[in-house]
Amino acid sequence: MRNLDIATLRSLQAVAEYGAVTRAADALNMTQSALSMQIKRLEELFGSPILLKQGRGVVLSDFATELVLEGRKLVALNDAILARFAGQRPEGRLRVGLTSDWLFARVAQAVRAFREDNPRVELIVNDGRSRDLRQQMRQGEHDVILTTEFEAPLGAIHLAKVDLGWFGAISGDSWRQRPLPIANSPHCAYYPVGLQALERAGIEWVQTISDGGTDTWRVLAAADLGVTLLPRGICQPGLELVDHGGALPPLPATWLNAYVADGPARSLAAEFTGHLRRAVCEVAAAA
């Protein structure tokens, strides 16, 4: 029988949140070598790579990305069991649904800050696509959600409005190619918007891959195998805003919206939204 180590899963979660082994080790108050050994044990346990080299840094493999999502549930359950049976009963519960694809680090900051201010609140965090999160909130599954949308609908709390841009490899030239190679997930909400802009401009395009994990297209773009769409002001390893001089069509702005449900957790949800607003203000300013 094989058992998962909670501390190891927590270390992997920290690497995903901080984007680097060194920063994750500092946050967990452990040495970089000790954290690296934990990652190695995960690779040996599952027989799959966890971290992939990208430039001078590392990114999670597709397998590791899925493991983080599932592992987060186990870590949260572990903490909830300890809190309950160790006599540290929570004073409240907040169910949060997040779309964290391009704001992962900022969202992690908001979650961390909220936990530090509310250590006795049980925080349940789930990741999902914006349209799924809105549906889940209507079904009563979340107290607060964070979405990215191309509109500012009634009832939304507008945290930021950021223009989309074409991003490619640093000093790359794939944006000059025709047909234009697109290194963007077809499941991304920005994907159809980008294609519509290209078609209106009469620019032929081709998809670099037909499928892949959430990080696959970023790796391809950073390798100069295509361009991708991201909100301006977001730093992604190996990528930069393409200075195309008008060779590529303009793109619309995207809204970062929060929704707070009515219910007993409304005040906590409002406070959490405040942390989100502070976390994204630097992004909006940079954009």
**Cα separations in angstroms, 154 against 16, 40, 138, 262, 267:** 33, 48, 15, 15, 20
Q: What percent of the chain has pLDDT over 90?
A: 33
- Confidence (pLDDT) at 159: 86
Per-domain boundaries in the chain: 1-89, 162-251
d(CA 283, CA 167): 16
Q: What percent of the chain has pLDDT over 70?
A: 91
CATH value of 1-89 in 1.10.10.10, 3.90.180.10, 1.10.357.20, 1.20.1050.10:
1.10.10.10
Q: Which residue has better confidence, 35 or 162? A: 35
pTM confidence score = 0.62
**Cβ atoms 143, 114 nearer than 8 A:** no
- Confidence (pLDDT) at 284: 62
Architecture of domain 162-251: 3-Layer(aba) Sandwich (3.40)
Report whether pLDDT(210) > 60. no
d(CA 24, CA 15): 5
> What pLDDT digit, counting tens, does each position of 74-133 carry?
888 887 787 777 766 667 889 999 886 656 667 788 888 888 888 888 888 888 888 889
Helices 32-46 and 6-18, axial angle in degrees (round to 10): 110
> What pLDDT digit, counting tens, does each position of 144-185 carry?
999 888 887 878 898 888 889 999 999 999 999 999 999 988
